[in-house]
Structure 1
Amino acid sequence: MKLKILATTILATMFSASSFAAMVNKSTIVVDGIQVGKMDGDNLPEQFSLMFNFHNTGNEIKVWQLGFYMPRSFDSLALQRINPEQTMQICDAAGGDCVALKYVRADNVNNVDKAQGYFTLLAPVSQFSLKPKTNYYIKIAHNNQWSSGNVSSLPQSLFLTINDENSDGVPKIYTIHTELSQYQILNYDQNLIDRQIQDNIQAKWLASQPKNIPQVGIIPSPVRIISGVDGDFTLPAKTITIHNQLNSDNAIVNLWAPIIKQDWKLTKKVVIDNDTNASNGILIQSISDPKAIQNNPEGYRLTIANDNITIEALTATGVYYAFQTLRQISAQSANNTLPSLVITDYPRFKYRGVLLDVARHYFTVNEIKTLIDVMANQKLNTLHIHFSDDEAFRLALPSYPELTATASNRGLGQSIGPAMLLQNNLDATNLRQPEYPVANSVYGGSYSAIDIQSIISYANANQITIIPEIDIPGHARALIKALPHAMIDTNDSSQYLSVQGYRDDVLPVCTYGNDISVGNSFTTTINTIVNDIAKIFNQQTTLYAVSNEVSLGADEVSNNAWTNDTSCRNEWSKLSALDKSQLFIQKLAQNNNSLMLSGWQQMVQSDGVALGKYALPTSQVGHVWVWNPTREGVKQAANLANSNYPTILAYADKSYFDLAYSPSITEPGFTWAGQFMDTANVLSLAKAADTTISQSANSQNILGLEGALWSENLPSFDHMMYMALPKMPALAEASWSPSYNVTRNGKTNWQSLANRLGCGKNGYLSYLNKLYGVNYRGYPDGIAKEVPEDFCSVNPEGILNNQ
């Protein structure tokens, strides 16, 4: 496994010293202010302008380029009406000369990257020196990619390159420091935003069910909790015996025995046996009346009596979830006793998932395992890992070692250029990481075969299935960069820009299965890659693992892709880009009929509701995720279910965890699908599921829900957990707990969930922090930032008491 590499560091005031420090200096350019927003001439709703005001405190700089990260494209393509009116210039602020600026990109995808995607590099079109003690401004006017709303979308990580200075081909950069106070989003009113935030909190609170405080606070809430008639169960001081009377396979018991020893502070190890005659300790049995748990293989009944604890289930998975519930109850115990009660429980949906994007930002194996721990604690059962995108390919494949050798690293001077350069001092979630990559850092990471097997084994032991995803035929730029001999069709001179600002991120689909151009090499290569991935992730041991499943993503192909590709002949010649994408996937499936292919709705569906002409047959589809916001997504999902596709609801406006909690300037995350992607909003995914089911004649094909952690804005594990918590418990509640509990009379149980999440050192958020060392938004005050101001003053302890 490769670790995150920061090959360069800024001066000691920002970054720790390293042997690479000479490659990065602090610029003599001082920023006086940066303005973003509507300016003169921005007449269309989507247009904005950007103004950098600065001065030079050092010597004259004659040959220079300015670089920065901002999640907007500053490239232009009239064919798609992308920035057709954009102008860029630098001017002497005293009224002197102005010179136009050009967008500096590489000539073709084979070359080392310059500007691309959301990384911008600008240079004057003619000589323009930056003189000492002189004020300048750079104005980029009439960009039509929508203005900034918060810190995540501001221009940041600014730098200069000077005179093409480099070391072994890696450009030397001069960083330009900025503070949040130097930015101005025009027409932004913090007082107005604060009122909107409080109004949103109050409205969602009043629109939810009045809180119903149960005897114990469990997340997700069980189907039924009944107080027992026996006395409480007293925790032993030394040891306890777990009697597995369900079967002779003790794998689950062996997993939980050391956890119980630790949680209960036992002095001796837990004893395990298969004694069918035992009647004390912890008894694991086959449930005598399976209808009580709806014959659900993940269901269980947990009975706590004064002399024993009984777990009844149909499978080891049900036993596992009973232990998770028991663990939460134990965390709330007082006086070393557990309350007498009977819990009957089973999930609403069989699929309860989280997507983790490791392409845009890399997370270590241990970080992924911690995420698995947090998910499993909430009875989530699927981790959908996005291994490749335009910015990286991170899955090591023995057949093609160049995939990770080339496509797992990025930075100036690398084949794949810089991307997602968030600035560490602007990131409010950055609690422990003084170093973030800069433009010429070699940022990378990949997962070896050993890493992947370790992740799969750990996940499966915790009842979580891993679904691998590589994104093709669009979002495939890293794959193209790594294997140009097989992935670049010289017959294709199409002009397009993807949503993320790439001109060259689609595979040569029209050559698949023929000998035109790179057809033979491309066909063999892509078949091998997909089959190798299927083999790596095959034979998982979880209940709902789909054999030979690989997700191809298959989303967001530009409408202008392959429009000027002479390889697109015969059946390909008159098809739209989406039809070509779907025909390619259909042919790929036909040639690899043992595979189960999954993807986002564009894999099989038109941009509307109808199925595509070349939609895969349902018999060869593992899962279809619907990401469109509910306005379009509900109808799309209902139609997919009615057409017998295994459908997962991942509506962006309800379940994209990477979106901002609120519209405050300091709140990280994108806002394209909504201004308030908070915990109450995620919980309302349960209502969206109700609506989708009501519109589906074949609602049994709606398998479940998924939350997404797209990582464009997640440069660290702390940032990832900030966006995941407390949203993830709302996803767990929506996907596990019965609809009649979560959305009674059209109102969610938000007040109940908030009460269980807690306000301070007690509550579920504090519980997760203590168990796994993870932080959350609002730490250490629990859910206080998302509830009415008086809630936590009245309920400072919540209902979980995890001393």
Structure 2
Amino acid sequence: MKPFSKFNCLGLAFAGMMITSCTDKPTAFADYQIVPMPLEITTPQQSGFLLKSGETIYYTAGNEKMKKNAEFLASFIKEQTGIELKVQEGDKESGIVLKLGLEATSPEAYHLTVDGGKVVIEAPSEAGVFYGIQTLRKSVSVHEGGGAIELPAVEINDTPRFSYRGMMLDVGRHMFTMDEIKTYIDMLALHNINRLHWHLSEDQGWRIEIKKYPKLTEIGSKRSETVIGRNSGKYDGKPYGGFYTQEQAKEIVAYAAERYITVIPEIDLPGHMQAALAAYPELGCTGGPYEVWRMWGVSDNVLCAGNDKTIQFIKDVLAEIIEIFPSEYIHVGGDECPKDKWKTCPKCQARIKALGIKGDSKHSKEEYLQSYVIREAEKFLNEHGRNIIGWDEILEGGLAPNATVMSWRGESGGIEAARQKHNVIMTPNTYLYFDYYQAKDTETEPLAIGGYLPMERVYSYEPMPSALTPEEQKYITGVQANLWTEYIPTFAQAQYMVLPRMAALCETQWSAPDKKKDYEGFLKRTVRLMDIYKLKGWNYATHILDVKVNIAPNQETGKLDVSAYTVDNAPIYYTLDGTEPTAASLKYEDGLSIDQACVLRMTAVRPEGNSRITCDTISFSKSTAKPISMLQPINKAYEFNGAPTLVDGMTGNRNYKTGHWIAFYKNDMEAVIDLKEATEISSMTLRACVEKGDWIFDARGISVEVSDDNKAFKQVASESYPAMKETDPNQIYVHTLNFTPVKTRYVKVKALSEKSIPAWHGGKGNPGYLFVDEIILN
């Protein structure tokens, strides 16, 4: 990128002063550093273009899509600046010109030029022009006062990295109004996203009208009540329901199409079908009765794969779906289908026998039976000119060549599918599930499903697996993030969960892979984008404006070093006694050193209001900030800051993904702490986070050994713990071992992980994870 010359900058500034003196309104300057970052920006040494009321947008004569594009641009500019532009057919040598004719490999590419005489957006297709318009819109950003805007001379060549750029919205658990769905589409358009994956059926509700099966909406769209919290066993007693008519769905499709977004419907089968079974119980293995599910999770009541009526039902539903949705792809789900009922169902077992299905070392016969159901759906769609997308479970049992796989359980499914020459959409839950928490302090966040997915992790995602060859990588055709709505009852909360994480998503989807990612630069660009969120009245999370705090043990000084910063260098104030910091509190300058227990709270002070307050509770024991070495490896997926995590003075909460916990898998935790001098100790405390559903179990035993030379160790305490029972709660388990006071320099702590998960658990026989957060010696 070429920088402006001093002459050019002075010239622009002078032009701005002249305009101010003539109009008494300030002139703003556009900034092409936007989200997503364009592929190529050059700044020729010539005058810019003054954007002011009365200028005309010209579009290709007789092209209704280009006319709509011009109207979009005029409305965006007026909304953000107050500048009113005219719209007219033609191709002039002045004003703002939208035109077709650019030669490029992608139809969504565009070429944007600004010089003293005009602004030109040229593309191979109307969609490309639309993305050029979005770039101009975001470059102008929000300019209060209605004054003119100087567009510096520029030449932008841009093209998307991926042709499929998706965002999923689940309306099965909680649904949203037509206006809210349209607002969601507007959000996608701002972020250059071109696919809305609309999840329309669930155990908890059927949301799309199917005229041949009216009970799907008469019965299947309504649940009698909804569980409170995370399957607490308590219910709210309030009926919940609703659905979209076929005409409403077509209206959404048309609204999205105007913004070059394709709506891909999902009818999840053969699992996630309890709402459909409540309406048509004869489609289930037991015949019911069934109810629309009131709780969250995955019901083991699924479509009966041995029933001919089931296959006909699937074809009938898909026949109406393809009449509503013109998309090339139809999503058929295929995920999380328990096979328990199939194993005992005479019809399913008869189907297995009739098809000659045999289980093998890769898959059970019931898993191959699911593949039969998916292939029946695929065959029907292929016969009608459509192709299927399914979650990565559809790999089980084999796929037809036209199937696209959506890899959500990490990247392994996508890698396998690409190697089998199937197109892949990468949507791993570890990076792109926006129903996960976005802050460590979950107490101040709306209830979420769990996990921890901050903006930085979303931005760090690289969707092209290095494990694939260049030829195999060609099958990675898209990237998508998902919003599941079990714990998202309102659209305001839905917006909060996706904004501004959607900005990080869109940069991964659009921007060139060879552009080195710069998170700090991205944050500054996102702050400008958030001005548009605010103008539109969208509810967005402000975590990126919070103080970023890093606390690290300093093994040399035996203290904790604290560093802090904000994205905009706003002044930071803090307290150490747990009180709320204000501008009258201590001001953070160039770092802190902490050598005693405290509660550190920080806030950034800005004219428009203070940021949210951070809170870090720090304890100090004889092990804090001491050298530590691991004798057995930390699990790479949950390594975070590594061994120092165990001596950083901080404990974690129930969310094991915040970085305050580290994990051990298929081996034990074994660490040696160097107290640096002979020190008397008489207790050791170790905490374990337990989430049995995620295969995370308590320790099976803990031992403490001491040594003066780090060679010969003597055990001073040990405890053994029984295998966990199904009734044992998920919680933080605190283990304290007391022993006769001993003076020592080196302390070895070993915690045994669960080597064989008990028989009552779905992961029986497999190793369990062990998560620990701090070794406390006193």
Q: Specify the TM-score bucket, using the shorter chain as the normaliser.
A: 0.5 to 0.7
Deviations 1:427-461 (A, max 9, x none): xxxxxxxxxx9622121121012211111111111
1:795–1:257 distance in 2 versus 1, CA, 3 Å: same
1:795–1:461 distance in 2 versus 1, CA, 3 Å: farther
Question: How far 1:491 moved relative to its partner?
Answer: 8.0
Q: 1-side partners of 2:263 and 2:228: how far apart? A: 26
SS in 2 for 1:794: coil
Question: How far 1:755 moved relative to its partner?
Answer: 1.1
Answer yes or no: is 1:262 the counterpart of 2:57. no
Q: Which runs of 5+ in 2 are unaligned?
A: 1-29, 551-563, 572-603, 609-778
Which residues of 2 match residues 383-462 of structure 1 at below 5 A?
383-412=196-225, 418-419=226-227, 439-462=236-259
Which residues of 2 match residues 726-741 of structure 1 at below 5 A?
726-741=500-515
The residue aligned with 1:197 is: none
Q: 2-side partners of 1:553 and 1:498: how far apart? A: 21
Query: Is this contact kept in 1: 2:59–2:66, CA < 8 A?
Result: no
Q: 1-side partners of 2:442 and 2:287: how far apart? A: 46
The residue aligned with 1:716 is: 490
The residue aligned with 1:76 is: none
Which residues of 2 match residues 302-381 of structure 1 at below 5 A?
302-331=112-141, 336-381=149-194
Question: How far 1:474 moved relative to its partner?
Answer: 0.7
Q: 2:352 aligns with which of 563, 566, 572?
A: 572
The residue aligned with 1:470 is: 267
Q: 1-side partners of 2:263 and 2:549: how far apart? A: 34
Q: 1:560 aligns with which of 322, 340, 345?
A: 340
Deviations 1:229-265 (A, max 9, x none): 2212112223423243796753433542541562476
Q: 1:529 aligns with which of 298, 317, 320?
A: 317
Question: How far 1:408 moved relative to its partner?
Answer: 1.3
Q: 1-side partners of 2:467 and 2:191: how far apart? A: 24
Query: Is this contact kept in 1: 2:109–2:160, CA < 8 A?
Result: yes
Query: Is this contact kept in 1: 2:378–2:387, CA < 8 A?
Result: yes
Query: Is this contact kept in 2: 1:639–1:696, CA < 8 A?
Result: no
Query: Is this contact kept in 1: 2:418–2:475, CA < 8 A?
Result: yes
Question: How far 1:531 moved relative to its partner?
Answer: 1.2
The residue aligned with 1:765 is: 530
Q: 2-side partners of 1:420 and 1:600: how far apart? A: 30
SS in 1 for 2:137: helix
Residue 170 of structure 2 aligns with an amino acid whose one-letter code is D
SS in 1 for 2:531: helix
1:593–1:234 distance in 2 versus 1, CA, 3 Å: closer
The residue aligned with 2:377 is: 588
1:740–1:245 distance in 2 versus 1, CA, 3 Å: farther
1:460–1:502 distance in 2 versus 1, CA, 3 Å: closer
1:503–1:381 distance in 2 versus 1, CA, 3 Å: closer
The residue aligned with 1:279 is: 93
Answer yes or no: is 1:690 the counterpart of 2:464. yes
- Bigger relative CO (Cα 8 Å, ≥ 6 apart): 1
1:755–1:787 distance in 2 versus 1, CA, 3 Å: farther
Query: Is this contact kept in 1: 2:73–2:137, CA < 8 A?
Result: no
Q: How well do the aligned residues superpose, as a CA RMSD in angstroms?
A: 3.3
Q: 1:230 aligns with which of 46, 51, 60?
A: 46
Query: Is this contact kept in 1: 2:173–2:202, CA < 8 A?
Result: yes
Q: Which has the larger radius of gyration?
A: 2
Residue 583 of structure 1 aligns with an amino acid whose one-letter code is Y
1:768–1:782 distance in 2 versus 1, CA, 3 Å: farther
- TM-score, structure 1 normalization: 0.59
Question: How far 1:280 moved relative to its partner?
Answer: 0.5
Question: How far 1:662 moved relative to its partner?
Answer: 3.1
The residue aligned with 2:388 is: 598
Residue 299 of structure 1 aligns with an amino acid whose one-letter code is A
The residue aligned with 1:507 is: 303
The residue aligned with 1:753 is: 522
The residue aligned with 1:108 is: none
Answer yes or no: is 1:617 the counterpart of 2:400. yes
Which residues of 2 match residues 61-80 of structure 1 at below 5 A?
none
Query: Is this contact kept in 2: 1:234–1:338, CA < 8 A?
Result: yes
Answer yes or no: is 1:244 the counterpart of 2:60. yes
Q: Which runs of 5+ in 1 are unaligned?
A: 1-213, 413-417, 427-436, 512-518, 539-544, 607-611
Query: Is this contact kept in 1: 2:439–2:454, CA < 8 A?
Result: yes
Q: 2-side partners of 1:248 and 1:452: how far apart? A: 23
Residue 409 of structure 2 aligns with an amino acid whose one-letter code is N
1:303–1:269 distance in 2 versus 1, CA, 3 Å: closer
Q: 1-side partners of 2:192 and 2:460: how far apart? A: 19
The residue aligned with 2:545 is: 783
Q: 2-side partners of 1:680 and 1:499: how far apart? A: 32
Deviations 1:86-142 (A, max 9, x none): xxxxxxxxxxxxxxxxxxxxxxxxxxxxxxxxxxxxxxxxxxxxxxxxxxxxxxxxx
SS in 1 for 2:197: strand
Which residues of 2 match residues 617-636 of structure 1 at below 5 A?
617-619=400-402, 621=403, 623-629=404-410, 633=411, 635-636=412-413
Question: How far 1:643 moved relative to its partner?
Answer: 1.6
Q: 2-side partners of 1:785 and 1:707: how far apart? A: 26
Deviations 1:736-783 (A, max 9, x none): 001112xx3xxx32111111122xxxx21122221x2111112xx763
Query: Is this contact kept in 1: 2:52–2:148, CA < 8 A?
Result: no
SS in 1 for 2:344: coil
Query: Is this contact kept in 1: 2:335–2:392, CA < 8 A?
Result: yes
1:248–1:719 distance in 2 versus 1, CA, 3 Å: closer
Which residues of 2 match residues 10-21 of structure 1 at below 5 A?
none
Q: 1-side partners of 2:141 and 2:347: how far apart? A: 63
Q: 2-side partners of 1:232 and 1:579: how far apart? A: 64
Query: Is this contact kept in 1: 2:436–2:453, CA < 8 A?
Result: yes
**Alignment size in residue pairs:** 514
SS in 2 for 1:303: strand
Answer yes or no: is 1:705 the counterpart of 2:479. yes
Residue 442 of structure 1 aligns with an amino acid whose one-letter code is P
SS in 2 for 1:567: helix
Q: 2-side partners of 1:735 and 1:221: how far apart? A: 11
Residue 93 of structure 2 aligns with an amino acid whose one-letter code is S
